[in-house]
Amino acid sequence: MQTLNDHLGLYTDFYELTMAQGYYFSGKKDEQVTFDYFFRTNPYDGGYLVFAGLGEVLRLLKHFNYSDSDIEYLKKTGLHPDFVEYLRDFRFSGKIISMKEGEIVFPGEPLLRVEGNIIEAQLIETMLLNLLNFQSLVATKAFRIKHVSKAKTFVDFGLRRAHGLGGIHASRAAVIGGASATSNVFAGKAFDIPVSGTLAHSWIQSFDDELTAFRTFAEVHPQNTVLLVDTYDTLKSGVPNAIKIAKEMEAKGQKMIGIRLDSGDLAYLSKRARKQLDAAGLNYVQIFASNQLNEHVVKSLEEQEAPIDAFGIGTEMVTGKPEAALDGVYKLAECDGTPRMKISENIEKVTLPGKKEVYRYYDEEGFFFRDGILLANEDPNEAEYIYHPHHPEKFTQVSHLKREKLLQVVYDNGKLTDETPSLAKIHEYLKTRAALLPSEHKRFIKAHIYKVGISKNLYNLRCELMKKVDSKLCQTEIKPN
């Protein structure tokens, strides 16, 4: 079986190809376009999203082409032979303008902009959405866990419950969000992530008794002895037997690293286990916990002062539970210099036309205050106010505030414009950005909505385009100040 890298041009939905063929034969193939990637709703009823997946998008773009076998396959799908032959030499030669991976972002604002000819911009849509939506969802979940764990270590244990090969990218996103290691060996090699893992219940069950199972494992792995203590009876068998092994190791000049709890009341069991370990003079032996953990369970354990040193997080993180998916979309904003937009009866699905920039404004204390979306040809110094996208009577003066431009060119004509940062550096960037987000946006219950506004010029451009469709649409334009 060949790898995905051998067939990246097929990493798409068929309608992208049928549209591309239409552009090819209708004389539109050289039209220059702009597409925006954005999302509509914060996941987990939260107040923000962690932008993730960019590094993989940029890596795979360099390999997005069609092999000889791809060409032969596409000819069998009903596509026109001339168009299929056109794809033989296809390479993405456009430009990607994006926020940094690890950025804290909000609904409605362009996180990434694609500029190029209409065929190349259309063909990469599915791959881009697949990578950014899923990894942003998982990275956000992971960072929520990191946020409430009081900086304690947690490890990604989720591959066996992940959605097929999506588990590979889930591990990458988990590390961006704060996981220190993964059990996923493939992801460990692919993304240079530390790998972690000791033993499962099957190891213990394969021996005639628990003590022998523990002793054998400690003999084979004296430098990495973490014993799973809940196979039979956690407090009456598992922990006492682990203590015996720890004492045997001490006699050999060795030290057990820890024990792991994988079932039951983790707060109660960890407290009782800690007492047993400390009474035996084993205060250095750590307690690890796993079993269907999420940010809410970790938060509860911390509030109960459970003496847990680290967590193994699996299913809920790598599947993005309870969210099924992030509602990220990819919409045409400009075609051959003419602004384009989608109009819908659902106001939240009306898009913003034209090529745009995003600015972040800071309050007097240096915290994130507002994000503003301006047309790319606007001078931000002249944007005195930003307005609610649908209620222009709500606005904020920003001309006096410190601002930061968030979108930067990251890929141009087949080349990265800068070195792709490591996952560790992306996480460090995320931490510095999250520290600037006011705490009311990070709470789990009724998180405060971060305000994203648009400039007067952008509002009026959208209004003008809407009126061309129906004069009754957009009754209010913003007048000059």
What are phi and psi for residue 137, nearest 5 degrees?
Answer: -60, -50
Name the 3-class secondary structure at 65: coil
Q: What are the helix (H) ranges across 124-184?
A: 125-148, 166-177
pLDDT of residue 3: 56
pLDDT digits (tens, 9 = 90+) for 151-165: 899 999 999 999 999
From residue 306, how far is each of 25, 72, 188, 228, 287 by CA, in Å?
A: 66, 60, 30, 18, 10
Q: Please, where in the chain does CATH 3.20.20.70 lie?
A: 198-289
Name the 3-class secondary structure at 240: helix
pLDDT of residue 471: 73
pLDDT of residue 472: 75
pLDDT digits (tens, 9 = 90+) for 361-382: 999 999 999 999 999 999 999 9
pLDDT digits (tens, 9 = 90+) for 36-50: 999 999 999 999 999
% of the chain residues with pLDDT over 90:
92
Residue with the two structure tokens 């009866």: 345
Please give the biggest Cα pair distance in the chain: 86
Assess whether pLDDT exceeds 50 at residue 1. Answer: no
**Residues present in the chain in total:** 481
From residue 424, how far is each of 73, 168, 419, 428 by CA, in Å?
A: 40, 17, 14, 6
Contact indicator for 94, 16 with CB cutoff of 8 Å: no
pLDDT of residue 436: 98
Residue 430, sorted as left (phi over 0), alpha (psi -120 to 50) or beta, turns out to be alpha
pLDDT digits (tens, 9 = 90+) for 261-310: 999 999 999 999 999 999 999 999 999 999 999 999 999 999 999 999 99
Assess whether pLDDT exceeds 90 at residue 443. Answer: yes
What are phi and psi for residue 191, nearest 5 degrees?
Answer: -120, 15
Assess whether pLDDT exceeds 90 at residue 191. Answer: yes
Higher pLDDT, 4 or 143: 143
Looking at domain 198-289, does it have CATH number 3.20.20.70? yes
Assess whether pLDDT exceeds 70 at residue 448. Answer: yes
pLDDT of residue 277: 98
Assess whether pLDDT exceeds 60 at residue 2. Answer: no
pLDDT digits (tens, 9 = 90+) for 319-351: 999 999 999 999 999 999 999 999 887 777 889
Determine the average pLDDT of the residues in 224-230. 97
pLDDT of residue 91: 95
Looking at domain 4-138+324-469, does it have CATH number 3.30.160.270? no
Residue with the two structure tokens 């750590």: 286
Burial class (CB in 10 A: 0-12, 13-18, 19+), 65: middle
Determine the average pLDDT of the residues in 96-124. 98
Q: Please, where in the chain does CATH 3.20.140.10 lie?
A: 4-138+324-469
pTM: 0.95
From residue 414, how far is each of 16, 60, 66, 246, 422 by CA, in Å?
A: 21, 11, 16, 56, 21
pLDDT of residue 475: 63
Assess whether pLDDT exceeds 60 at residue 126. Answer: yes
